[in-house]
Amino acid sequence: MTSRCPAGSGRIVSGGVQHGRMARRETGTGGAGVKGARRPEVRLPPLEPWPEGELEPDGDYDGLEFRERDLTGQDGMGARFMDCALTGCAVDETALGRARVLDSVLTGLRGVGTRLAEATLRDVELVDARLGGTQLHGAVLERVVIRGGKIDYLNLREARLKDVVFESCVLVEPDFAGARLERVEFLDCALKGADFGGATLKDVDLRGAAPLEITRGLDRLSGAVISTGQLLDLAPVLAAAMGIRVL
């Protein structure tokens, strides 16, 4: 299934998303010795509304707007979303494994058990999501911003994250076990009960995470930067992990 938007000479600005060619910039928050993530600036063309129907496996969705659609339980395995906007959609148990989401904006998604294993998200903004148990294990996230909202039990096991920013959001028990994180930033973000077991970190900036709660994988934080205050907060957990008794 392929649908393309008509050509237009003007640019439309909607919801803070710019329309036209994409540009990228760094966040500029990286300190000395820490490389900041490169953010996407998604510029969408004029979009056509997605017609009534259901997602199709290996479907091709180009230049479409999905607004307040119920995608619960639908099968879009292996589909490609290019220059799309998904706004206010329900994605409970939606199957999107191995899907490719490119140059797109996802706003106000809600759902439990969304399946995105081995998916690719590149140049994507995820805004004000309310999700639980989202399966992104083995996925690739590159130049992705996750801003606002709350995600419970996010599964990013064995995923690859490069140039990813978590901003002004709440992550409850996110699972980064075995994942590779490079140039990842947490800005004004609550990180509760995170698992970094077996993860590999490079230029990961945790200074903006408050609270910063790590239940597993403290020994894998080489390549991350934290603040002095966070170090003091983590001291009891670090001591326990090293077998040090504090009396």
Contact 147, 167 (CB under 8 A): yes
pLDDT at 238: 86
Please, what CATH class does the domain formed by 23-241 belong to?
A: mainly beta
Tens of pLDDT, residue by residue over 176-202, are 999 999 999 999 999 999 999 999 999
pLDDT band of residue 134 (cuts 50, 70, 90) is: very high
- Counting residues of the chain whose pLDDT is more than 70, the rounded percentage is 87
Backbone φ, ψ for residue 193 (5° rounding):
65, 40
Separation of alpha carbons 163 and 184, rounded Å: 6
Say what percent of the chain tops pLDDT 90.
Answer: 77
Give the per-residue pLDDT at 6: 40
Mean pLDDT over 53-76 rounds to: 97
Beta strands in the chain (DSSP E): 23-26, 38-41, 48-49, 60-62, 64-67, 80-82, 85-87, 100-107, 110-112, 120-132, 140-152, 160-167, 170-172, 180-187, 189-195, 200-205, 209-216, 224-225
Q: Is 192 exposed, middle or buried (0-12, 13-18, 19+ CB in 10 A)?
A: middle
User: Considering the entire predicted model, what is its pTM?
Assistant: 0.85
d(CA 201, CA 14): 35
Q: In this predicted structure, what is the pLDDT of residue 18?
A: 45
- Domain coordinates in residue numbering, the chain: 23-241
β-pairing, 160-167 with 140-152?
parallel
